[in-house]
Amino acid sequence: MEICLNNAVENITGQLQIWRRDFHKYAEAGWFEFRTATLVADELNRLGYQLQLGKEVIDADSRMGLPSAAQLAVQEKRAITQGALIEWLPHFSGGFTGIVATLDTGKTGPTLAFRVDMDALDLNEELTNQHRPHAEGFSSCNSQMMHACGHDGHTAIGLGLAHILKQYQSQLTGRIKIIFQPAEEGTRGAKSMAKAGVVDDVDFFVAIHIGTGVPKGELVCGSNSFLATTKFDVTYHGKASHSGAKPEEGKNALIAAAQATLGLYGIPRHSEGSSRVNVGVLNAGIGRNVIPDHALMKVETRGETNEINEFMYQQAINIIEGAAKMQDVKADIKLMGAAQSSHASPQWVDFIARLAQNKIPELTSVVKNRPEAAGSEDATYFMERTKTLGGQATYMIFGTELSAGHHNERFDFDENVMPVAVKTLATIALSLPEYGADHHE
Protein backbone atom coordinates (compact mmCIF):
# COMPACT_ATOMS: atom_id res chain seq x y z
CA MET A 1 0.00 0.00 0.00
CA GLU A 2 2.81 2.39 0.90
CA ILE A 3 4.35 2.36 -2.60
CA CYS A 4 0.95 2.92 -4.21
CA LEU A 5 0.15 5.74 -1.77
CA ASN A 6 3.48 7.38 -2.53
CA ASN A 7 2.66 7.31 -6.23
CA ALA A 8 -0.84 8.65 -5.68
CA VAL A 9 0.45 11.57 -3.61
CA GLU A 10 3.24 12.27 -6.07
CA ASN A 11 0.67 12.44 -8.87
CA ILE A 12 -1.22 15.28 -7.17
CA THR A 13 1.79 17.21 -5.84
CA GLY A 14 1.77 19.61 -8.78
CA GLN A 15 -1.96 20.17 -8.35
CA LEU A 16 -1.46 20.95 -4.66
CA GLN A 17 0.85 23.79 -5.65
CA ILE A 18 -1.62 25.05 -8.27
CA TRP A 19 -4.46 25.10 -5.75
CA ARG A 20 -2.36 26.73 -3.06
CA ARG A 21 -1.10 29.49 -5.33
CA ASP A 22 -4.56 30.17 -6.69
CA PHE A 23 -6.02 30.52 -3.19
CA HIS A 24 -3.05 32.69 -2.22
CA LYS A 25 -3.54 35.03 -5.17
CA TYR A 26 -7.26 35.43 -4.48
CA ALA A 27 -6.97 35.60 -0.69
CA GLU A 28 -10.26 36.09 1.13
CA ALA A 29 -10.62 37.13 4.77
CA GLY A 30 -12.97 35.51 7.26
CA TRP A 31 -16.64 35.20 6.24
CA PHE A 32 -15.64 36.54 2.78
CA GLU A 33 -14.38 33.17 1.41
CA PHE A 34 -16.95 33.17 -1.39
CA ARG A 35 -14.64 32.35 -4.30
CA THR A 36 -12.64 29.82 -2.28
CA ALA A 37 -15.75 28.02 -1.02
CA THR A 38 -17.34 27.73 -4.47
CA LEU A 39 -14.18 26.26 -5.99
CA VAL A 40 -13.74 23.83 -3.10
CA ALA A 41 -17.39 22.73 -3.25
CA ASP A 42 -17.21 22.21 -7.00
CA GLU A 43 -14.09 20.05 -6.75
CA LEU A 44 -15.52 17.95 -3.93
CA ASN A 45 -18.79 17.51 -5.79
CA ARG A 46 -16.90 16.38 -8.88
CA LEU A 47 -15.17 13.75 -6.74
CA GLY A 48 -18.52 12.44 -5.53
CA TYR A 49 -18.50 13.55 -1.90
CA GLN A 50 -21.71 14.13 0.01
CA LEU A 51 -21.78 17.86 0.65
CA GLN A 52 -23.30 19.97 3.39
CA LEU A 53 -22.96 23.66 2.70
CA GLY A 54 -23.55 27.07 4.22
CA LYS A 55 -26.48 27.20 6.62
CA GLU A 56 -26.47 23.39 6.86
CA VAL A 57 -23.15 23.53 8.71
CA ILE A 58 -23.11 27.02 10.25
CA ASP A 59 -25.36 28.21 13.06
CA ALA A 60 -26.15 31.78 12.08
CA ASP A 61 -26.49 33.12 15.62
CA SER A 62 -23.16 31.64 16.74
CA ARG A 63 -21.03 33.42 14.17
CA MET A 64 -18.64 35.94 15.70
CA GLY A 65 -16.99 38.99 14.20
CA LEU A 66 -19.39 38.95 11.26
CA PRO A 67 -18.94 41.86 8.82
CA SER A 68 -21.91 44.04 7.96
CA ALA A 69 -24.43 43.00 5.32
CA ALA A 70 -23.10 45.77 3.07
CA GLN A 71 -19.52 44.54 3.42
CA LEU A 72 -20.58 40.97 2.69
CA ALA A 73 -22.42 42.10 -0.44
CA VAL A 74 -19.40 44.04 -1.72
CA GLN A 75 -17.11 41.07 -1.20
CA GLU A 76 -19.56 38.69 -2.85
CA LYS A 77 -19.54 40.88 -5.97
CA ARG A 78 -15.74 41.02 -5.81
CA ALA A 79 -15.59 37.23 -5.66
CA ILE A 80 -17.76 36.94 -8.78
CA THR A 81 -15.39 39.15 -10.75
CA GLN A 82 -12.52 36.92 -9.61
CA GLY A 83 -14.01 33.64 -10.73
CA ALA A 84 -16.41 32.48 -8.02
CA LEU A 85 -18.70 29.80 -9.44
CA ILE A 86 -22.16 31.30 -9.65
CA GLU A 87 -24.00 27.98 -9.33
CA TRP A 88 -22.53 27.39 -5.86
CA LEU A 89 -22.61 30.94 -4.56
CA PRO A 90 -26.19 30.95 -3.17
CA HIS A 91 -25.15 28.36 -0.58
CA PHE A 92 -22.53 30.72 0.84
CA SER A 93 -24.19 34.10 0.36
CA GLY A 94 -24.39 36.29 3.44
CA GLY A 95 -21.28 34.87 5.08
CA PHE A 96 -22.15 31.18 5.40
CA THR A 97 -18.88 30.03 3.87
CA GLY A 98 -18.49 26.59 5.48
CA ILE A 99 -18.30 23.17 3.86
CA VAL A 100 -18.43 19.61 5.19
CA ALA A 101 -17.60 16.85 2.70
CA THR A 102 -18.43 13.27 3.72
CA LEU A 103 -17.15 10.04 2.21
CA ASP A 104 -19.36 7.14 3.29
CA THR A 105 -17.52 3.90 2.57
CA GLY A 106 -20.63 1.80 3.12
CA LYS A 107 -18.69 -0.36 5.57
CA THR A 108 -19.04 -0.48 9.33
CA GLY A 109 -16.59 1.71 11.16
CA PRO A 110 -16.12 4.91 13.14
CA THR A 111 -16.47 8.45 11.82
CA LEU A 112 -13.18 10.27 11.33
CA ALA A 113 -13.05 14.04 10.71
CA PHE A 114 -10.29 16.32 9.48
CA ARG A 115 -10.51 20.10 9.77
CA VAL A 116 -8.77 22.60 7.49
CA ASP A 117 -9.34 26.37 7.47
CA MET A 118 -9.72 28.64 4.43
CA ASP A 119 -9.49 32.29 5.46
CA ALA A 120 -6.78 34.91 4.99
CA LEU A 121 -5.68 37.71 7.28
CA ASP A 122 -6.54 41.41 7.15
CA LEU A 123 -3.06 42.27 5.92
CA ASN A 124 -1.42 43.80 2.86
CA GLU A 125 1.16 41.50 1.27
CA GLU A 126 4.68 42.70 0.52
CA LEU A 127 5.05 43.37 -3.20
CA THR A 128 8.79 43.14 -3.80
CA ASN A 129 10.86 40.64 -5.77
CA GLN A 130 12.44 39.47 -2.52
CA HIS A 131 9.05 37.96 -1.67
CA ARG A 132 8.51 34.76 -3.68
CA PRO A 133 4.73 35.03 -4.16
CA HIS A 134 5.21 38.43 -5.80
CA ALA A 135 8.30 37.41 -7.78
CA GLU A 136 6.49 34.33 -9.14
CA GLY A 137 3.18 36.05 -9.79
CA PHE A 138 0.83 34.73 -7.14
CA SER A 139 0.79 37.47 -4.49
CA SER A 140 -2.63 38.55 -3.25
CA CYS A 141 -4.58 40.79 -5.60
CA ASN A 142 -6.97 41.80 -2.82
CA SER A 143 -6.25 44.79 -0.62
CA GLN A 144 -5.99 44.03 3.10
CA MET A 145 -6.28 40.30 2.49
CA MET A 146 -3.27 37.98 2.58
CA HIS A 147 -2.66 34.33 3.32
CA ALA A 148 -0.02 35.02 5.94
CA CYS A 149 -0.75 31.97 8.10
CA GLY A 150 -0.76 29.08 5.63
CA HIS A 151 -4.49 28.54 5.31
CA ASP A 152 -4.11 28.52 1.52
CA GLY A 153 -1.90 25.48 2.03
CA HIS A 154 -4.40 23.95 4.46
CA THR A 155 -7.22 24.24 1.92
CA ALA A 156 -5.03 22.66 -0.76
CA ILE A 157 -4.13 19.84 1.65
CA GLY A 158 -7.83 19.26 2.30
CA LEU A 159 -8.55 18.95 -1.41
CA GLY A 160 -5.54 16.72 -1.93
CA LEU A 161 -6.67 14.47 0.89
CA ALA A 162 -10.14 14.30 -0.65
CA HIS A 163 -8.60 13.05 -3.91
CA ILE A 164 -6.49 10.38 -2.20
CA LEU A 165 -9.31 9.11 0.02
CA LYS A 166 -11.59 8.76 -2.99
CA GLN A 167 -8.95 6.71 -4.80
CA TYR A 168 -8.61 4.42 -1.75
CA GLN A 169 -12.31 4.25 -0.88
CA SER A 170 -12.41 0.44 -1.20
CA GLN A 171 -9.74 0.14 1.51
CA LEU A 172 -11.46 2.51 3.95
CA THR A 173 -14.15 1.85 6.54
CA GLY A 174 -16.76 3.97 8.27
CA ARG A 175 -17.30 7.59 7.32
CA ILE A 176 -14.72 10.32 6.75
CA LYS A 177 -15.54 14.01 6.95
CA ILE A 178 -13.40 16.87 5.75
CA ILE A 179 -14.43 20.15 7.35
CA PHE A 180 -13.49 23.32 5.46
CA GLN A 181 -13.85 26.05 8.06
CA PRO A 182 -14.18 29.81 7.48
CA ALA A 183 -13.02 32.62 9.75
CA GLU A 184 -10.41 30.91 11.90
CA GLU A 185 -8.43 34.14 12.17
CA GLY A 186 -9.78 35.99 15.15
CA THR A 187 -11.20 32.64 16.36
CA ARG A 188 -14.59 33.42 14.83
CA GLY A 189 -15.81 30.46 12.78
CA ALA A 190 -15.49 27.09 14.51
CA LYS A 191 -17.99 27.72 17.28
CA SER A 192 -20.78 28.23 14.75
CA MET A 193 -19.95 24.97 12.98
CA ALA A 194 -19.66 23.03 16.23
CA LYS A 195 -23.00 24.53 17.28
CA ALA A 196 -24.49 23.29 14.01
CA GLY A 197 -23.50 19.76 15.00
CA VAL A 198 -20.89 18.97 12.37
CA VAL A 199 -18.80 16.89 14.79
CA ASP A 200 -21.61 15.43 16.88
CA ASP A 201 -21.23 12.08 15.09
CA VAL A 202 -17.42 12.13 15.04
CA ASP A 203 -15.43 9.46 16.88
CA PHE A 204 -11.95 10.69 15.92
CA PHE A 205 -11.04 14.28 15.09
CA VAL A 206 -7.89 15.86 13.65
CA ALA A 207 -7.19 19.55 13.02
CA ILE A 208 -4.02 20.56 11.20
CA HIS A 209 -1.66 23.48 10.77
CA ILE A 210 1.65 24.02 9.01
CA GLY A 211 4.59 26.00 10.37
CA THR A 212 4.06 27.74 13.73
CA GLY A 213 7.78 27.52 14.46
CA VAL A 214 8.01 23.75 14.10
CA PRO A 215 11.16 22.78 12.13
CA LYS A 216 10.94 21.34 8.63
CA GLY A 217 10.43 17.59 8.69
CA GLU A 218 9.01 17.52 12.21
CA LEU A 219 5.47 16.46 13.04
CA VAL A 220 3.74 17.45 16.26
CA CYS A 221 1.00 14.87 16.80
CA GLY A 222 -0.78 16.62 19.65
CA SER A 223 -0.43 20.29 20.41
CA ASN A 224 -1.60 21.34 23.87
CA SER A 225 -0.36 24.88 23.42
CA PHE A 226 -3.62 26.76 22.95
CA LEU A 227 -4.81 29.43 25.34
CA ALA A 228 -8.51 30.03 25.80
CA THR A 229 -9.38 33.50 24.52
CA THR A 230 -12.14 36.06 24.28
CA LYS A 231 -11.90 38.84 21.70
CA PHE A 232 -14.22 41.82 21.89
CA ASP A 233 -14.71 45.40 20.74
CA VAL A 234 -15.63 48.19 23.13
CA THR A 235 -17.27 51.36 21.83
CA TYR A 236 -17.64 54.28 24.25
CA HIS A 237 -20.38 56.77 23.41
CA GLY A 238 -20.06 60.20 25.04
CA LYS A 239 -21.10 63.73 24.14
CA ALA A 240 -19.18 66.19 22.01
CA SER A 241 -18.70 69.78 23.10
CA HIS A 242 -16.41 72.73 22.43
CA SER A 243 -13.27 72.11 24.45
CA GLY A 244 -12.72 75.84 25.07
CA ALA A 245 -16.19 77.33 25.38
CA LYS A 246 -18.19 74.52 27.06
CA PRO A 247 -15.93 71.67 28.19
CA GLU A 248 -18.23 70.90 31.13
CA GLU A 249 -21.03 69.94 28.74
CA GLY A 250 -18.97 67.21 27.11
CA LYS A 251 -18.74 63.56 28.11
CA ASN A 252 -15.26 62.38 27.22
CA ALA A 253 -15.18 58.94 25.60
CA LEU A 254 -11.42 59.19 24.98
CA ILE A 255 -10.61 59.53 28.67
CA ALA A 256 -12.86 56.57 29.46
CA ALA A 257 -11.02 54.45 26.92
CA ALA A 258 -7.61 55.59 28.15
CA GLN A 259 -8.51 54.86 31.76
CA ALA A 260 -9.86 51.47 30.79
CA THR A 261 -6.70 50.66 28.83
CA LEU A 262 -4.43 51.45 31.74
CA GLY A 263 -6.73 49.56 34.09
CA LEU A 264 -6.71 46.44 31.93
CA TYR A 265 -2.96 46.15 32.16
CA GLY A 266 -3.28 46.27 35.93
CA ILE A 267 -5.36 43.07 36.15
CA PRO A 268 -3.51 40.68 38.50
CA ARG A 269 -2.15 37.54 36.88
CA HIS A 270 -3.63 34.21 37.93
CA SER A 271 -1.70 31.84 40.18
CA GLU A 272 -2.96 28.71 38.42
CA GLY A 273 -1.58 29.37 34.94
CA SER A 274 -0.71 31.77 32.15
CA SER A 275 -2.94 34.76 31.46
CA ARG A 276 -2.89 37.58 28.94
CA VAL A 277 -4.67 40.84 28.18
CA ASN A 278 -4.07 43.18 25.27
CA VAL A 279 -5.57 46.32 23.77
CA GLY A 280 -4.56 46.11 20.13
CA VAL A 281 -6.46 49.13 18.81
CA LEU A 282 -7.53 52.40 20.43
CA ASN A 283 -9.17 55.06 18.28
CA ALA A 284 -10.93 58.15 19.62
CA GLY A 285 -11.96 61.71 18.84
CA ILE A 286 -12.35 63.85 15.73
CA GLY A 287 -10.59 67.14 16.41
CA ARG A 288 -8.22 69.06 18.68
CA ASN A 289 -10.88 71.40 20.02
CA VAL A 290 -13.71 68.90 20.45
CA ILE A 291 -14.45 66.82 23.53
CA PRO A 292 -14.29 63.27 22.08
CA ASP A 293 -17.74 61.71 21.91
CA HIS A 294 -16.63 58.27 20.76
CA ALA A 295 -13.80 55.80 21.27
CA LEU A 296 -13.14 52.28 19.99
CA MET A 297 -11.02 49.65 21.73
CA LYS A 298 -10.18 46.21 20.33
CA VAL A 299 -9.38 43.95 23.25
CA GLU A 300 -8.51 40.33 23.92
CA THR A 301 -8.01 38.21 27.02
CA ARG A 302 -6.36 34.79 27.14
CA GLY A 303 -5.89 32.10 29.75
CA GLU A 304 -4.19 28.74 30.06
CA THR A 305 -7.56 27.29 31.03
CA ASN A 306 -11.11 28.34 30.27
CA GLU A 307 -11.49 29.35 33.93
CA ILE A 308 -8.42 31.61 33.87
CA ASN A 309 -9.58 33.28 30.68
CA GLU A 310 -13.04 33.82 32.19
CA PHE A 311 -11.39 35.44 35.22
CA MET A 312 -9.44 37.79 32.94
CA TYR A 313 -12.53 38.57 30.87
CA GLN A 314 -14.75 39.37 33.85
CA GLN A 315 -12.04 41.57 35.37
CA ALA A 316 -11.75 43.37 32.02
CA ILE A 317 -15.50 43.96 31.81
CA ASN A 318 -15.53 45.40 35.34
CA ILE A 319 -12.77 47.85 34.43
CA ILE A 320 -14.35 48.84 31.11
CA GLU A 321 -17.75 49.45 32.68
CA GLY A 322 -16.16 51.26 35.63
CA ALA A 323 -14.34 53.65 33.30
CA ALA A 324 -17.64 54.36 31.57
CA LYS A 325 -19.28 55.30 34.87
CA MET A 326 -16.37 57.53 35.83
CA GLN A 327 -16.82 59.61 32.67
CA ASP A 328 -20.63 59.26 32.46
CA VAL A 329 -20.46 57.63 29.03
CA LYS A 330 -22.02 54.48 27.64
CA ALA A 331 -19.97 51.35 26.85
CA ASP A 332 -21.14 48.91 24.17
CA ILE A 333 -19.29 45.59 24.23
CA LYS A 334 -19.43 43.28 21.22
CA LEU A 335 -18.04 39.74 21.19
CA MET A 336 -15.80 39.30 18.13
CA GLY A 337 -14.23 35.89 18.66
CA ALA A 338 -13.50 33.16 21.18
CA ALA A 339 -11.70 29.85 21.62
CA GLN A 340 -11.30 27.31 24.35
CA SER A 341 -8.31 25.63 25.87
CA SER A 342 -8.04 21.99 24.90
CA HIS A 343 -5.78 18.99 25.33
CA ALA A 344 -5.29 16.24 22.79
CA SER A 345 -6.48 12.72 23.60
CA PRO A 346 -3.34 10.81 24.71
CA GLN A 347 -4.17 7.40 23.17
CA TRP A 348 -5.09 8.99 19.84
CA VAL A 349 -1.83 10.95 19.86
CA ASP A 350 0.15 7.78 20.65
CA PHE A 351 -1.46 5.96 17.73
CA ILE A 352 -0.76 8.77 15.27
CA ALA A 353 2.83 9.06 16.48
CA ARG A 354 3.45 5.33 15.91
CA LEU A 355 1.95 5.55 12.43
CA ALA A 356 4.05 8.56 11.51
CA GLN A 357 7.25 6.98 12.79
CA ASN A 358 6.66 3.70 10.99
CA LYS A 359 5.00 4.76 7.73
CA ILE A 360 6.05 8.33 6.87
CA PRO A 361 9.82 8.29 6.17
CA GLU A 362 9.61 11.87 4.89
CA LEU A 363 9.33 12.96 8.53
CA THR A 364 12.67 13.40 10.27
CA SER A 365 11.18 13.87 13.73
CA VAL A 366 7.89 12.93 15.39
CA VAL A 367 6.92 14.70 18.61
CA LYS A 368 3.89 13.61 20.59
CA ASN A 369 3.09 16.86 22.33
CA ARG A 370 3.99 20.52 22.19
CA PRO A 371 3.09 21.71 25.69
CA GLU A 372 4.16 25.35 25.81
CA ALA A 373 1.33 27.89 25.81
CA ALA A 374 1.33 30.38 22.97
CA GLY A 375 -1.56 31.38 20.71
CA SER A 376 -5.19 30.37 20.46
CA GLU A 377 -7.16 28.25 17.97
CA ASP A 378 -10.88 27.85 17.54
CA ALA A 379 -10.52 24.22 16.39
CA THR A 380 -10.66 23.70 20.15
CA TYR A 381 -14.45 23.98 19.88
CA PHE A 382 -14.43 20.92 17.61
CA MET A 383 -11.98 19.12 19.87
CA GLU A 384 -13.91 19.73 23.06
CA ARG A 385 -17.26 18.88 21.46
CA THR A 386 -15.84 15.61 20.11
CA LYS A 387 -14.37 14.67 23.49
CA THR A 388 -17.51 15.67 25.41
CA LEU A 389 -19.51 13.21 23.29
CA GLY A 390 -17.03 10.39 23.91
CA GLY A 391 -14.68 10.74 20.98
CA GLN A 392 -10.99 11.50 20.72
CA ALA A 393 -9.34 14.56 19.21
CA THR A 394 -5.97 16.08 18.44
CA TYR A 395 -4.28 18.99 16.71
CA MET A 396 -1.36 18.22 14.40
CA ILE A 397 1.36 20.58 13.21
CA PHE A 398 3.53 19.90 10.16
CA GLY A 399 6.84 21.71 10.39
CA THR A 400 8.15 23.70 7.46
CA GLU A 401 10.62 26.43 6.60
CA LEU A 402 9.10 29.91 6.60
CA SER A 403 10.32 33.05 4.87
CA ALA A 404 8.92 35.11 7.75
CA GLY A 405 6.81 34.49 10.81
CA HIS A 406 3.06 33.95 10.73
CA HIS A 407 0.93 37.09 10.29
CA ASN A 408 3.81 38.88 8.57
CA GLU A 409 3.53 40.57 5.17
CA ARG A 410 6.50 38.49 3.92
CA PHE A 411 5.10 35.12 5.06
CA ASP A 412 5.63 32.15 2.74
CA PHE A 413 6.27 28.44 3.31
CA ASP A 414 8.02 25.49 1.69
CA GLU A 415 5.31 23.92 -0.47
CA ASN A 416 6.88 20.46 -0.07
CA VAL A 417 5.10 20.23 3.29
CA MET A 418 1.74 19.80 1.53
CA PRO A 419 2.26 16.30 0.03
CA VAL A 420 3.78 15.14 3.33
CA ALA A 421 0.67 16.32 5.15
CA VAL A 422 -1.66 14.67 2.63
CA LYS A 423 0.20 11.37 2.90
CA THR A 424 0.18 11.47 6.71
CA LEU A 425 -3.54 12.23 6.96
CA ALA A 426 -4.42 9.59 4.36
CA THR A 427 -2.33 7.07 6.30
CA ILE A 428 -4.32 7.84 9.45
CA ALA A 429 -7.57 7.17 7.60
CA LEU A 430 -6.30 3.96 5.99
CA SER A 431 -4.86 2.66 9.27
CA LEU A 432 -7.79 3.50 11.52
CA PRO A 433 -9.07 -0.12 11.65
CA GLU A 434 -5.78 -1.00 13.39
CA TYR A 435 -6.69 1.33 16.24
CA GLY A 436 -9.67 -0.74 17.29
CA ALA A 437 -13.02 0.23 18.70
CA ASP A 438 -11.75 -0.46 22.24
CA HIS A 439 -9.90 2.85 22.16
CA HIS A 440 -13.09 4.86 21.80
CA GLU A 441 -13.36 6.87 25.01
Residues annotated in a binding site for Mn(2+)? 149, 151, 185, 209, 407
Alpha helix locations (H) across 26-125? Answer: 34-47, 69-81, 89-92
Task: Report the first-to-last Cα separation within the chain, whole angstroms.
Answer: 29
Sign of CA dihedral 55, 61, 62, 64: positive
Measure the CA–CA gap between 123 and 9, rounded to whole angstroms: 32
Consecutive H or E run containing 138: none
| DSSP3 helix / strand / coil % (the chain, rounded to 5) | 40, 25, 40
User: Kind of pairing, strands 111-117 and 175-181?
Assistant: parallel
For residue 304, the 8-state DSSP code is S
- Strand order from edge to edge, sheet including 99-104: 50-53, 99-104, 175-181, 111-117, 204-210, 392-398, 218-223, 365-370
Listed residue (224, 434, 229) closest to 312, CA to CA: 229
Rounded CA-CA distance 109/176 in Å is: 10
Provide the annotated binding site: 149, 151, 185, 209, 407
Closest CA to 66 of 150, 192, 155, 180: 192
d(CA 384, CA 441): 13
Torsion of CA 122, 126, 131, 137, to 10 degrees: 80
